[in-house]
Amino acid sequence: MGGISAIQNRVDERANPQSQTAGQEVFFKDGDQAFLTPVATGEENDLLLDEVHLYTYRSGNRWINLLKDDDVDASDVPDNIRPSHKFAFWAYVHDVMHTEKRFDDWEEVEGPQGKKMFVQHVNDFRVIPLGFGRSNYIWNQLVDVYNDWGALNKGVVRVKRTGTGMYDTSYTVTATARNTDVPAEKISEIAKLAGIKDYYKDRYGQVSQTTPSSEGVSLETEEVTLLDDDLFN
């Protein structure tokens, strides 16, 4: 079951010692920040926001990402590998700002304190996967946005990554005053988006899937990103 309330209940249960396709994810590098409008509302039974568990392990010369699910065969997962715990939601990503220019079509702009930034105009729907963070600090930021707005899809959210390693990486998820809506011609596509559980099952439901190629942050998957994020769950 998706939605803010359902996931929060499961977070609370885990915290209580008495209870227990083509890729469309956005993965962040140090300094990247995305401006996006969630299309998930966060309400009860919202299938566009959910939590997932993923095994990540090396097989030969490649990395395998495999969904932990009752319907997925995990017999090839090494015994010493534990799944990472993430939440993910669909959003309309307006643009992503980078500190390095990795593609020619990224627009150079002047950022805070005159720092050079490079804007990747995405203007499409993407899945935003994030670890819960220590003491659920990343998840709690999303819950704060939900509580402030009454629903996640009421405005533009900024997601930013700072840091590269095990001890210095952090994420911020904040509401912004930016007034940019999902284009009217894209609204009808929201109803066609797969639920997060179905997306991950289709994407990571078998070992034969290969690590996707890098096409900028909006479609990027790389072993360093996956391993770093796993450390903060």
**Alpha-carbon gap, residue 173 to 157, rounded angstroms:** 7
Q: pTM here?
A: 0.82
Lowest mean pLDDT among 124-128, 151-155, 214-218, 223-227: 223-227
pLDDT, tens digit (0-9, with 9 covering 90-100), for 70-106: 999 999 999 999 999 999 999 999 999 999 999 999 9
Lowest mean pLDDT among 15-29, 59-73, 165-179: 15-29
Q: Residue 108: which of 98, 100, 96, 118 has the closest Cα?
A: 118
Q: Report how many domains make up the chain.
A: 1
Enumerate the β-bridge partners of residue 33: 97, 160
Q: Which long-range contacts (CB under 8 A, 24 or more apart) does 9-12 make?
A: 10/51, 11/132, 11/136, 11/139
Please report, for the chain, how many H helices and E strands are present, in that order: 4, 8
pLDDT, tens digit (0-9, with 9 covering 90-100), for 102-142: 999 999 999 888 899 999 999 999 999 999 999 999 999 99
DSSP conformation letters of 97-111: EESS--STTSEEEE-
pLDDT band (50, 70, 90) for residue 14 = low
Cβ neighbours of residue 184 closer than 8 Å, sequence gap 6 or more: none
Q: Which domain holds residue 204?
A: 4-230
pLDDT, tens digit (0-9, with 9 covering 90-100), for 159-202: 999 999 878 999 999 999 999 999 999 999 999 999 999 999 99
Is it the case that residue 27 has pLDDT exceeding 60? yes
